Amino acid sequence: MPRRNGYSALQITLHWLIAVLIAAAWFTHEGMGRALEKRIETGASGIEGNTAHVWIGGAVFALILLHLIVRLIQGAPGPVPGSSPMIAAAALWGHRLLYLLMVVTPALGATAWYGGVEPAGEVHELFGFTLILVSLGHAVMALWHQNVWKDGTMTRMTKPQA
């Protein structure tokens, strides 16, 4: 994967769009059990019974896959110059965890919703909560970098670079 100084306009757009959609998915969830029960009661198929949460989750899944492909092609910047090895490792593994949760959480939701696999729905709820917590930690660290360490980290995700 090539190294860059910052992110492209497409990468930045995908990042913020996915962030907004994850927040929207969190605020539109009803709990997988209740949503599945409603769908079964009405006799709706998986697609007919789709809720806003299901559509948003599908969009997150599609966009995160696109984001990963774009990242493989365009690359990403390395650690902020001057970062300690511990901070660089924390950033690397924090991002890996975010990507894993952003792929697995909607995949589990789809498995539960369309496949009727209730245990997948329970894990989806747990992973969704974990995704929100890790995302909040990511946001807090971005603000910390910007306002305390003043190292320009957030600028890489707000101003496109070639």
Query: pLDDT tier at 4 (50, 70, 90 boundaries)?
Result: confident
Q: Span 30-38, mean pLDDT?
A: 79
Tell me the pLDDT tens digit for each residue of 116-127. 898 999 999 999
Q: What is the 3-state secondary structure (H, E, C) of the chain?
A: CCEECCCCHHHHHHHHHHHHHHHHHHHHCCCHHHHHHHHHHHCCCCCCCCCHHHHHHHHHHHHHHHHHHHHHHHCEECCCCCCCHHHHHHHHHHHHHHHHHHHHHHHHHHHHHHHCCHHHHHHHHHHHHHHHHHHHHHHHHHHHHHHHHCCCCHHHHCCCCC
For the cut 70, the answer to whether the pLDDT of residue 70 exceeds it is: yes
pLDDT above 90 for 34: no
Q: Is residue 130's pLDDT more than 90?
A: yes
Q: Which two tokens stand for residue 38?
A: 């409603």
Rounded Cα–Cα distance for residues 112 and 161 (Å): 40
111: pLDDT strictly greater than 80 = yes
What's residue 53's pLDDT?
Answer: 93
Residue count (the chain): 162
pLDDT given for residue 1 in this prediction: 66
Q: pTM for the complete prediction?
A: 0.92
Q: Is the pLDDT of residue 89 over 70?
A: yes
Mean pLDDT, residues 70-86 taken together: 92
Q: How far apart are CA 146 and CA 39, in angstroms?
A: 45
CB 76 within 8 A of CB 67: no
Q: What is the pLDDT of residues 48-66, one digit of tens each?
A: 778 899 999 999 999 999 9
pLDDT surpassing 90 at residue 80: no
Q: What is the mean pLDDT of residues 107-112?
A: 95
Residue 109 confidence (pLDDT) above 80? yes
